A and B are shown apart, each in its own frame.
Chain A
Amino acid sequence: MPSINKMFFSMLCIALFFSSTNQAWPQSIEKQTVLAALTINIARFTTWPELVFKEPESTFNLCIYGDNVVQQSFSNLINNKQVNKRPIHIINISRLRELNQCQLIYISELERNKLIPLLLELKDKPILTIGENSEFLKAGGLVGLENIKGKIQLTINLAIIKQSKLIISSRLLKLATIVNYPIPNN
């Protein structure tokens, strides 16, 4: 099929041409990388009750529910970084088990009918939950990082933060949109 080869070659040439001259699109950074950096920064503005860390040298356990792209965005960032003077330890909770070891749970995407019961389980615990959309906050999540027209908007559900015994710095609250969604009924 020589005609196929010819077609393929010409398409490839066009492709390579464009790939070498790409400056037309504005410089932007991948969403997951920014979300991971924001998550760690938000953790730095948050204070956990001391008793959640069993020992002085306990790590800060950052749990992730997400695919390889999400996992990688965190592991690329954290080398030797700290939160609350503790080294960050990343745990992938792909099966949503053993959640009590987490200080922070980042949930990338979870179908809505699983999200509400999961957040109900966590409601009184000192675990900072961070998700990617407004549905997440309505379902009982603490912090939402939503991509609105190419920029991340930070939203904090203050009603639930108060129950969680976490303290979020006022500096961070000033940058956020504050909402007060109640915990959904059991």
Chain B
Amino acid sequence: MHIKSDSLKVLLIYFLSLTIYSTNAHSDHSELIDFSVEDLLNIEVTSVSKKAKSLNDSPAAIFVITNDDIKRIGATSIPEALRLAPGVNVARIDSNKWAISARGFNGRFANKLLVLIDGRNAYTRAFSGVYWENQDVMLEDVDRIEVIRGPGATLWGANAVNGVINIITKHSADTQGGLLAVGGGTEEQGFGSFRYGGTLNEDTTARAYIKGFKRDESTKQSGGEAGDDWDKVQGGFRIDTQLTARDNLTIQGDSYRSIINQNTTLAQLTAPFQSTFNEKIDTFGGNILARHKHIFSSTSDYSLQFYYDFYERDEVYMKESRHVADLDFQHSFAFLDWNNIIWGTSYRYTHDLLRSTYVTANPTSRNDQLFTAFVQDEITLIEDLLWLTLGSKFEHNDFSGFEAQPTARLMWTPHHKHRLWAAASRTVRTPSRLEHNMTLLRSVSLHPTPTPPHTLVPVALTLTANDQYESEEVFSYEIGYRTTVIKNVSIDFTAFYNNYKNLRSGLFGAPDPSTLPINQPVMPINQNKAHSYGFEIASVWQMLDWWRWDINYSFLKTDYNSNSVSQVLGLTPQQQFSLRSAMSPWQDIDLDFLFRYIDQNTAVTTFGDADIKAYVSLDIRLAWRPINSIELSLVGQNLLAENHHEYNQELFTTPTEIDRGMYGKLAWSF
């Protein structure tokens, strides 16, 4: 497929506009050095263009979403905030489900993106992926979301194949005082959050929060309400204490309960071979985490972290509970003045219980262990100019055994305004409980018999378990360039090539004609290959002190080995473009918008392949602070169409479209 000429035009205009603007050179104020201290203390200073000028020093495709970014775009959930990141495809399947992935293979059950919340893994072994509707934080207390596209397994572990999302909340010393936010509207029917932070003693600060929301149902693609409205209540806390000047301890925890409605379609062995019904899913979970960090010196420290996390979901096709306990140790130190070494080891214990008559698990309960160790050395090849990072993760899990995931990265900083990096890595996606132990009836359809008279007989496609299923594997090659050579503009460019092996494909077993429907088993095997390549551009332009633009574009091409796209591989749009404007024409007024263009896509589902048309979307937020402690905002989301189609889940649920929405919000800090 060619890049559409329209998109090329957009890119051209974009670069042209940057060039036009760059000719307006400003002085660098080098005369300031001769000013007196008195004069310098009286100068009016500004720091608004910081984001348009700073360049990240990591040899990886990293993008940071700040607290301010989340607020100013009116995001009410983590997935909405992730729409700000380049090269990340966030597709809302229905009111309560998302498909999120970077660099391809997207789907509700996407399995190549690792997600961590304050160091706690949100990726579940059940299907190898993330239940996004279960992941939430008090968005006002988020410090930043680091989005790393590409492999990150050496530091973060297996399944960081195509990316890592690190959600990091603020230190409790930075969330002192009260915050009350309430609001509501058409899709965000009602929400509220309350946080209070205080000082427990001279060395200890803490906060606690509670939040809740109710979200409206989306629209069925065939028309009518989709019956997928949901609500959630979540609460949590965080305590940070400075035990000594060199030791600090963080203890935090959250718990939630959510009622999710969905319209489910399950295959059945009797005509009409499928049934559709509304169901109410009760899901709840919680976690507690403790982290001790000891600092030996400015170049040496260690951290010891423990967490326990559990969740339970009760769906018609699967009742699942999962408990994870994880212990992690990391130590970093400088060696011989030209090495920065970080190494660590961890142990994870998982207990699960899967009860269902539709998706049957054998065994129904498992206790699994994961051992990992890693070492990484950042070697200074030329002081302040060239660094080489070498490292590898080694792990042993109960599904695929021993895995090694090495990386080599080179960072070159020839000038303040230029950063270049390159990386090569191997990463694996470890098998899921589903692939190893679960069996389910995928679909029943009518097929003609191979011999005359070719009468139509029902055939039941059964997905069966394969406990020999191995890890999927990718070799990734990346290069990146960051520059601020144009005044008040930063550009971050990354290109990549990924070579995937042992991807999932289906092996058709011998059909069993003794029963009707004829049973046709399909088993997951590691026979697929693919390679993908593409590039991503993220740029920031501080046009005026009070007006910033963020412009992102990504291109992705995935070539599968087989002619037909396998039933189990997710897809991702080839092109994505986003344009964000953040304007503060007066100090107490913010006006922001986010415009997105998402290329066409195909959803591969049990109901057949569904074409997803390219779409555009626009979110606008207007905020006013009548006094410093109060902010009133009005947000319009998905404004360009009454509803639009973003993606379909691979199986079970009815295709829906996302509705246009408006909400108002009042935030009071005290």
Give the contacting residue for A9; candidates B13, B45, B419, B597; CB below 8 A: B13
For residue B244, which residues in chain A have a CB less than 8 angstroms away from its CB?
185-186
For residue A5, which residues in chain B have a CB less than 8 angstroms away from its CB?
6, 9-10
Once the chains are docked, how many angstroms separate the CA of A2 from the CA of B4? 12
Once the chains are docked, how many angstroms separate the CA of A8 from the CA of B30? 37
Contact at A153–B41, with CB atoms within 8 Å? yes
Contact at A117–B44, with CB atoms within 8 Å? no
Contacts A118-B298, A151-B41; A28 near B597 (Cβ below 8 A): no
Once the chains are docked, how many angstroms separate the CA of A98 from the CA of B337? 7
For residue A25, which residues in chain B have a CB less than 8 angstroms away from its CB?
544-546
For residue B316, which residues in chain A have a CB less than 8 angstroms away from its CB?
none
Once the chains are docked, how many angstroms separate the CA of A29 from the CA of B17? 25
Contact at B337–A97, with CB atoms within 8 Å? yes
- Asked if A51 CB lies within 8 Å of chain B CBs, one says no
Contact at B334–A37, with CB atoms within 8 Å? no
For residue B21, which residues in chain A have a CB less than 8 angstroms away from its CB?
16, 19
Contacts A8-B579, A29-B29, A67-B55; A113 near B544 (Cβ below 8 A): no
Contacts A16-B17, A28-B46, A29-B44; A67 near B54 (Cβ below 8 A): yes
- Asked if B351 CB lies within 8 Å of chain A CBs, one says no
Give the contacting residue for A94; candidates B53, B297, B384, B545; CB below 8 A: B384
A99-157, CB < 8 A from B: 99, 112-114, 116-118, 120-121, 147, 150-154
For residue B214, which residues in chain A have a CB less than 8 angstroms away from its CB?
none
Give the contacting residue for B33; candidates A12, A81, A98, A153; CB below 8 A: A81
Once the chains are docked, how many angstroms separate the CA of A107 from the CA of B384? 17
Minimum Cβ distance to chain A for residue B203 (Å): 10
Contact at B32–A186, with CB atoms within 8 Å? no
Give the contacting residue for B47; candidates A77, A147, A184; CB below 8 A: A147
Contacts A113-B295, A114-B301, A154-B37; A184 near B245 (Cβ below 8 A): yes
Q: Mark B296-328, 1 if CB is under 8 A from A, else 0.
A: 111101000000000000000000000000000
Contacts A15-B17, A72-B417; A30 near B46 (Cβ below 8 A): yes
Nearest CB in chain A to that of B21: its residue: A19
- Asked if B24 CB lies within 8 Å of chain A CBs, one says yes
- Asked if A59 CB lies within 8 Å of chain B CBs, one says no
Contact at B416–A72, with CB atoms within 8 Å? yes
Contact size class for A? 35 or more
Contact at A117–B245, with CB atoms within 8 Å? yes
Give the contacting residue for B549; candidates A15, A75, A77, A185; CB below 8 A: A15
Contact at A19–B57, with CB atoms within 8 Å? no
For residue A150, which residues in chain B have a CB less than 8 angstroms away from its CB?
44-46
Once the chains are docked, how many angstroms separate the CA of A76 from the CA of B35? 15
Contact at B298–A30, with CB atoms within 8 Å? no
Contact at A31–B298, with CB atoms within 8 Å? no
Once the chains are docked, how many angstroms separate the CA of A172 from the CA of B667? 43
Nearest CB in chain A to that of B250: its residue: A113
A1-17, CB < 8 A from B: 1-5, 7-9, 11-12, 15-16
- Asked if A164 CB lies within 8 Å of chain B CBs, one says no
- Asked if A52 CB lies within 8 Å of chain B CBs, one says no
Contact at A18–B547, with CB atoms within 8 Å? yes
- Asked if A47 CB lies within 8 Å of chain B CBs, one says no
Give the contacting residue for B44; candidates A2, A26, A71; CB below 8 A: A26
- Asked if A158 CB lies within 8 Å of chain B CBs, one says no
Once the chains are docked, how many angstroms separate the CA of A41 from the CA of B616? 53
Once the chains are docked, how many angstroms separate the CA of A114 from the CA of B248? 10
Contact at A33–B544, with CB atoms within 8 Å? no
Contacts A5-B9, A42-B37, A78-B33; A116 near B245 (Cβ below 8 A): yes
For residue B544, which residues in chain A have a CB less than 8 angstroms away from its CB?
18-19, 22, 25
Once the chains are docked, how many angstroms separate the CA of A40 from the CA of B40? 11
Once the chains are docked, how many angstroms separate the CA of A117 from the CA of B302? 13
Once the chains are docked, how many angstroms separate the CA of A31 from the CA of B48? 9
Give the contacting residue for A41; candidates B40, B173, B299, B416; CB below 8 A: B40
Give the contacting residue for A172; candidates B37, B44, B616; CB below 8 A: B37
Once the chains are docked, how many angstroms separate the CA of A68 from the CA of B415? 9
A-B contact pairs, 24 of them (CB 8 A): A1-B4, A4-B10, A7-B595, A8-B579, A9-B13, A11-B579, A15-B17, A26-B44, A28-B545, A29-B32, A29-B44, A29-B45, A29-B46, A41-B40, A68-B419, A69-B50, A71-B416, A76-B28, A95-B299, A99-B298, A116-B242, A117-B246, A152-B41, A175-B38
Contacts A31-B45, A152-B43 known; list 20 others, CB within 8 Å.
A2-B6, A5-B9, A8-B13, A8-B579, A16-B21, A22-B544, A29-B45, A30-B45, A30-B49, A31-B46, A67-B57, A69-B53, A69-B54, A75-B416, A77-B30, A95-B378, A114-B298, A151-B41, A151-B42, A151-B43
